[in-house]
Chain A
Amino acid sequence: MNKSIGFQLPKKFSPPVIALTLAVLLFVASSFFLNTNTSLAGMLSRGQTIINITAFLGLIAAGQTIVILAGGEGIDLSAGTTVTLAAIITAVVANKTDANLPIALVAALTAGGLVGLVNGIGVAILKIHPVVMTLSVAGVTMGTILAIYQGAVQGGAGPGFNQFVSMPFKIGNMSFGFTGAVIAWIFVSVLIWFILNKTRFGKHLFAIGVNREAAHLSGVRVTRTAIMAYVLCSVFTAFGGFIVLGYIQSVYFIIGDGYLFPSIAAVVLGGTVLAGGEGSYWGTMIGALVLTVLDSILTSSQVEVSVRQIVLGILLLAVISLYGRQKALRQ
């Protein structure tokens, strides 16, 4: 069909498969390169650690996948501040105890949902470009946090919650070396698979991602679905922030900032098309894995922040150049 499009990947090498290969290659190569323990047991334990760390980015990128799938150049640049907001609310409500954790979770998710609602209304009803809308909502969220807490947040995660998130999860005496964060990640991934593939909302989401006009004509409520996508996105992102707090325990004002760019890069690496309507969450999960392996390499070779930014930026450009290209005009 697209003969003149130039270089195109064969269909059987789907982006998630390429990403997975890349992750494994990077991981194996870095094991030798960085002089770590290269025995099988050593590799396995390093792999476990990587997956345990990936869980946080994977959780946060879940929401990003949903808005990007919804199309219309959808993207959530407020994801970083949503993570911070959820982490702060959890810290304040839980207040270093485990008793209040359920209330903290509900409060964090509600706050996330509110942020998503504002994003969704701005994008879907007021027709403000998603990039600009979510960027300014990020500003408002951060402003609200600063205005309320004036630079000092008390509280933190309780000991039990921290134990759950950062220690290997045990069933009886069995343990696979994966933390509670990974368990939560698996839970979320099943939930998202269900939402995207088994619900009416999921079908509508893909429909508006492919073509809003056609979706509207076939009876999909485009505006409502788009708003719903932003709300769900921020709720999942807030859940990511909740788990992140359990890991880091105490909170600071830029706790979520570092997750924004990787969350988008993970979605793109996983093969979700930026124009919307095509992609999957399992792709994003593998994208997050690639980024975490890369990050561990950059960290252990003590690369400066500036160079790290350049590497990540160029990586994102290279990946989209491979499989995010738009159609040529000559067709």
Chain B
Amino acid sequence: MQQIKGFFRKKTFVFPIILFILVILTNFALQYTNLGPEKFEKRFMFLLDNNIRGFLPLILLAIAQAIVLINGSIDLSIGNLMGLVAAFLVTQYALDDSIARFLQVFIVAIGIGVLAGAFNGIFVSLVRIPPFITTYATSFVFSGIAMWILPRPGGNMPEVITTFYRTTLPLGLPMGIWIILSTMLLWLVFRNTRFGAHMYAVGGNEKASFASGVSVIRHRMLVHMIAGLIAAFAALALVLVTGSSDPRIGGTMTLDSVVAVVLGGTPMIGGIGGVVGPIFGVMTLGFVRNIVGFANVDTWVQPLVDALIILVALASPSFIRLILKQVRS
């Protein structure tokens, strides 16, 4: 019994995966019949492809948020940071633009993401303002700049690129799956580096890490920059699906990213967790929303249901903990 408990404590992603499997089965059962008389594999692949592509921006944001949270910080600007990069991405093209132009723009976009992350990092680590208020303030700065670049929803992406992203299935699997798998692989390598180990150490105990020679300031700064970098990729994943952007799109995704991380078993106390859980957290959240969508809820009631899902998702780990405490005593 003790061993089982230890396993669940250490592998924070186990519970989220079980939840995820339950949700995905219900979801596919509901969506499946809507697709007409195609072959099973084809229908399954279609669903997987569409769903994953829709979830990918939030998945990347949740990964960024998870890294920041493991480090003992928080980033409430991450959604607006993505919105800023997305606004930049969709305002740089004429209709006949080439792939070379796209690459140029994308490199600048990544630079913007990293720079914005560094801006957060400077205030959090060098100036030492609590992260939740720093990033809350910068979220207004970022969304202000986004609205300045792109005053109303619109913009465009080169069609060559969006079509490529939507239709290519390397080795028969959707692009989204490959991106997720490679991120997981990168994470496995990353967390075993010195930097990765320090990330957990700083998140677990800042003072002790400092005392044992970790440069906490530089480290936290870099973590916020990495979060900005990942958010820039999230922006790309977003505009490749929609082909345009909305300056306010990121606002609600910040809360979603935190909820996904919590749902994925990474607590907000720092020093524990990983990014595999949050990936499944996002998918669980997305599939639950899909299921609610199938229930044909009135459009006026939809926001309430959505908000309640988020509240329940946030509260469930604490409820489980409280119940376990009751059972033990």
Interface residues of A (CB under 8 A from B): 73, 75, 122, 125-129, 131-133, 135-137, 139-140, 142-144, 146-147, 150-151, 261, 264, 268, 274-275, 304-310, 312-314, 316-317, 320-321, 324-330
Return the chain A residue nearest B261 by Cβ: A132
Closest 8 CB pairs of A and B: A143-B304, A309-B144, A139-B307, A313-B140, A310-B144, A313-B141, A306-B147, A126-B318
Report the minimal beta-carbon distance from B74 to chain A, rounded to whole angstroms.
7
Contacts of B262 in A (CB 8 A): 132
Q: Please, what's the 1-or-0 string for B300-329, where 1 marks a CB less than 8 Å from any CB in chain A? A: 110111111011001100110010000000
- Interface residue from B130, B258, B303, B315 paired with A73 (Cβ < 8 Å): B130
Contacts of A146 in B (CB 8 A): 300-301, 303-304
Instruction: Determine, out of B24-32, B49-57, B121-129, B167-175, the stretch whose residues face the partner at the interface.
Output: B121-129
Report the minimal beta-carbon distance from B133 to chain A, rounded to whole angstroms.
6
Asked, given contacts A146-B303, A306-B145, whether A133 binds B314 with beta carbons under 8 Å apart, the answer is yes
Return the chain A residue nearest B300 by Cβ: A150
- Interface residue from A144, A151, A324 paired with B304 (Cβ < 8 Å): A144
- Interface residue from B76, B128, B255, B318 paired with A136 (Cβ < 8 Å): B255
Q: Quick check: is B284 within 8 A (CB to CB) of the other chain?
A: no
Report the minimal beta-carbon distance from A136 to chain B, rounded to whole angstroms.
5
Contacts of A325 in B (CB 8 A): 127-129
Once the chains bind, are B308 and A143 in contact (CB under 8 Å)?
Answer: yes
Once the chains bind, are B141 and A321 in contact (CB under 8 Å)?
Answer: no
Residue of A126, A136, A144 with most chain B CB atoms under a 10 A cut-off:
A136
* Bound CA span A127–B239, Å: 36
Contacts of B141 in A (CB 8 A): 309-310, 313-314, 317
* Bound CA span A327–B303, Å: 41
Q: Quick check: is B181 within 8 A (CB to CB) of the other chain?
A: no
Report the minimal beta-carbon distance from B262 to chain A, rounded to whole angstroms.
8
Report the minimal beta-carbon distance from B288 to chain A, rounded to whole angstroms.
15
* Bound CA span A127–B322, Å: 10
Return the chain A residue nearest B304 by Cβ: A143
Once the chains bind, are B132 and A131 in contact (CB under 8 Å)?
Answer: yes
Contacts of A317 in B (CB 8 A): 123, 129, 134, 137-138, 141
Contacts of B307 in A (CB 8 A): 136, 139-140, 142-143
Contacts of A324 in B (CB 8 A): 129-130, 133
Q: Quick check: is B216 within 8 A (CB to CB) of the other chain?
A: yes
Residue of B143, B145, B210, B304 with most chain A CB atoms under a 10 A cut-off:
B304
Interface residues of B (CB under 8 A from A): 74, 76, 123, 127-130, 132-134, 136-141, 143-148, 151, 206-207, 210, 216, 255, 258-259, 262, 268, 298, 300-301, 303-308, 310-311, 314-315, 318-319, 322
- Interface residue from A126, A132, A133, A312 paired with B140 (Cβ < 8 Å): A312
Return the chain B residue nearest A140 by Cβ: B307
Contacts of B143 in A (CB 8 A): 309
Contacts of B76 in A (CB 8 A): 131
Contacts of A274 in B (CB 8 A): 130, 133
Report the minimal beta-carbon distance from A172 to chain B, rounded to whole angstroms.
46
Contacts of A308 in B (CB 8 A): 144
* Bound CA span A117–B300, Å: 25
Report the minimal beta-carbon distance from A302 to chain B, rounded to whole angstroms.
15
Contacts of A313 in B (CB 8 A): 137-141, 144
* Bound CA span A217–B305, Å: 41
Contacts of A144 in B (CB 8 A): 304
- Interface residue from B129, B147, B259, B318 paired with A127 (Cβ < 8 Å): B318
Report the minimal beta-carbon distance from A45 to chain B, rounded to whole angstroms.
32
Once the chains bind, are B304 and A140 in contact (CB under 8 Å)?
Answer: yes
Report the minimal beta-carbon distance from A254 to chain B, rounded to whole angstroms.
12
- Interface residue from A125, A126, A137, A320 paired with B129 (Cβ < 8 Å): A320
* Bound CA span A317–B129, Å: 9
Asked, given contacts A139-B255, A150-B300, A317-B129, whether A131 binds B311 with beta carbons under 8 Å apart, the answer is no
Once the chains bind, are A147 and B300 in contact (CB under 8 Å)?
Answer: yes
Asked, given contacts A140-B311, A264-B136, whether A132 binds B259 with beta carbons under 8 Å apart, the answer is yes
